[in-house]
Amino acid sequence: MSNTCESISVNTSENAACETKENGSNRIAKAFDHGKAFIPFITCGDPDLATTAKAVREAVRNGADLVELGIPFSDPTAEGPVIQEANVRALQGGVTTDKIFDLVRELRKDVTIPMVFMTYANVVFSYGTERFLKTCSEIGIDGLILPDIPFEEREEFLPACRKYGVKLISLIAPTSAGRIAMIAKEAEGFLYIVSSLGVTGARTEIQTDLASIVREVRANTDIPCAVGFGISKPEQAAKCADVSDGAIVGSAIVRIIAEYGTEAPAKVGEFVHSMVSALRP
C-alpha cells in the first residue's frame, strides 16, 4: 500500500479509495491485528438506508473493527424474530440490492475498515452470482457470508468469489463436529464460530464448549475466528473473545435500531463502545 494511505478507520476519500484496492484478505486480517475484534451486524435499510449509513459510521467511530451488512431477504432462515422483523421493515421500505450497493459506495468515501455482506443464496442467485461478486469487488466489499449454504455446497459461489477477490467466509456450528478440521483448512478471511444451536437472537447464557471448537480450528488454520449468535452483553462478548479472536453482535444492535429508529445511530455508537471496551479494556 502506498505511503499516502493511512491505516485508520475513518479517513479521507482519497485514502479510503486507496484502502479499497487492497486484497480483501489483507484488510480482513487487519481487523484482528490489534487485539480482540468487535464485529457489529446491521440490517441495511432498517428503518432506511440513511440511518444505516449513520449507524455504520457511529460503529466505526466507536471502535468497530469489521462491519457485517445484512442484505434483507424475505425468508431469512438463520435469523430469529428481531432480525426477521428488520428484514421485513427494510423490504417494505423499498430497499434493493442495487440500493445497498450504492450505500456501500457512499460509505467507502470515508470508511476504510473491512465490510462484508451477510445474506442468503437466493439473493445472490437472483441478482446473478458473477454480477453480484463483480460489483462487490468494485465497491470495496471484502467478504460474503451465506448462512444457508453448507460448506460442502460452497463451490456454487467459490469460483466467482475468488475471481473477484471477495472472501467466502465459512461458519462452524456446534453441530460441525467431525467437520471442523476440514472447514478450517479451507477457510478464507475469518471463521464465523456459531455459539449456539438455533437462530440468531440474544441468549442469557452460552453453553457451547467454544474452547474445544477453537482449539481444533487453531490446530488447522491460522486464520482468525470470531464468535457470534446470542451475544448481547459486554461480559458475554469478553467471555467469547477470551477463547477466540473476536465477537460478533447482531440482534442486540438491530433491537436498538428497531427501538430508536432514525435516532438510533448515536445509541448504536454507545453500545459498540461498551462492547469494544469489554474486549480491549
217 contacts 191 by C-beta, under 8 angstroms: yes
pLDDT, mean of residues 140-159: 95
Q: What is the pLDDT of residues 263-274, one digit of tens each?
A: 999 999 999 999
Q: What is the DSSP letter of 95?
A: -
Beta strand 115-118 with 37-43 is unpaired
Q: How far is CA 266 from the centre of its chain?
A: 20
Report pLDDT for 273: 98
| pLDDT at 146 > cutoff 90 | yes
- Greater confidence, 136 or 207? 136
pLDDT, mean of residues 127-138: 98
Q: What is the pLDDT of residues 36-81, one digit of tens each?
A: 999 999 999 999 999 999 999 999 999 999 999 999 998 866 667 8
pLDDT mean across residues, the chain: 87
| pLDDT at 2 > cutoff 80 | no
CA atoms within 13 A on the CB side of 65: 26
46 contacts 254 by C-beta, under 8 angstroms: yes
Report pLDDT for 175: 80
Separation CA 144–CA 220 (nearest Å)? 22
The three cell numbers of residue 73 are 431477504
| pLDDT at 13 > cutoff 70 | no
Q: Domains in the chain, please, with CATH?
A: 13-275 (3.20.20.70)
193 contacts 217 by C-beta, under 8 angstroms: yes
69 contacts 100 by C-beta, under 8 angstroms: yes
Report pLDDT for 77: 66
Report pLDDT for 229: 85
Report pLDDT for 41: 97
| Predicted TM-score of the model (pTM) | 0.88
- Greater confidence, 232 or 106? 106
In the block, cell 470515508 appears at: 110
The model's confidence at residue 20, banded by pLDDT at 50, 70 and 90, is: very low
Q: What is the pLDDT of residues 203-259, one digit of tens each?
A: 345 556 888 999 999 999 999 999 998 888 999 999 989 999 999 999 999 999 999
Pick from 141, 247, 87, 82: nearest CA to 132: 141
Report pLDDT for 201: 39
DSSP 218-253: HHH--S-EEEESS--SHHHHHHHHHHSSEEEE-HHH
pLDDT, mean of residues 31-36: 94
